[in-house]
Amino acid sequence: MTRILTVTLNPAVDKTYFAQSVMAGQVNRMRTMEKIAGGKGVNVTKILRQYGCEVVATGFLGGGSGSFIEEELLRRGAECRFVRTAEETRSNMNIIADDGYVTEILEPGPKVTAEEQALFMEQYEALLGECGLVILSGSVAGGLQTDIYALLIELAAEKGVPVYLDSSGESLRLGIRAKPELIKPNWKELEYIMGHSIRDREGIIRAAALLHREGISRVIVSMGSKGLVSVTDSGIYYARTEEIPAVNTVGCGDSVVASCAISAVLGETEEAAVVRACAIAAANATTKESANIPMETAEALWNKIIVEKIPG
């Protein structure tokens, strides 16, 4: 089976709080709190392990928070090859209110030293010889160059290893220039890439098709409750599920990325891959803990996915 390398340059301990409501400028008492290993690449790792994929996780971890994340990944059977940082791994807060609003408070994370980055680059190049797919996910820790993802994609290309990229802002925009195999922006991230607002699904399809023509083999855009769009040489697909009782949408984008990797390992058709991604992402939204897919729910949703092949 293909070994998958996940790279998380700015992981986090995710603390999810549940409250009746959240009001700015006032005391907000939380009803309950759950703590999990997080960060986009860490989420992808956890989902891949749920589905039996062989995963090597790398990136940066520091302090007690970093040890907590590594222990969680090891417990799930992932191989961990992280570089330790002098500064502590960040913690993030996701506050879920009963009215359905989710408030995220994200710490910036540690500042990586030049020595720590050099160790990571050495580790990364060695791991490229052991893995058949690389997934780069999430934000970039302080101290790292903005175009770090472009550099990592180029190094992988030299060894013939395909790369999936899921980030935001300048690290995503610059990473795209290196032509990864797959990108998965959400609606707002796609607008940032294109430099203008996008009003509807048709606008998303046009933008994704343009990026595909410019050299990205697969562009998959997550649209929240409106579903997702995928553009490849096989065509343009749109998929969505029936309305579901969403509890926590954090990690749904990571679910799509992980699902795409699973489909690639299994050799699934593009239509099957889109259906799988939509089902897994929707199942993720039905639980409090992100990136812990209720397998039975995902399987039940599989046959309820509405998928459409769009001419173009």
Triad 257, 248, 73: Cα angle to 5°: 55
E strands of 73-152, at which residues? 79-80, 83-84, 90-97, 102-106, 133-137
List the end-to-end C-alpha distance of the chain, in Å, as a whole number.
Answer: 34
CB 230 within 8 A of CB 237: yes
Q: Is 254 a catalytic residue?
A: yes
E strands of the chain, at which residues? 3-8, 12-19, 32-38, 54-61, 79-80, 83-84, 90-97, 102-106, 133-137, 163-166, 182-183, 218-222, 228-232, 235-240, 306-310
Rounded to the nearest 10 degrees, how much is the dihedral formed by the CA atoms of 37, 42, 47, 48? Answer: -140
Instruction: Kindly name the residue from 14, 147, 166, 254 that is annotated as catalytic.
Output: 254
Triad 213, 201, 196: Cα angle to 5°: 70
Active site residues per annotation: 254
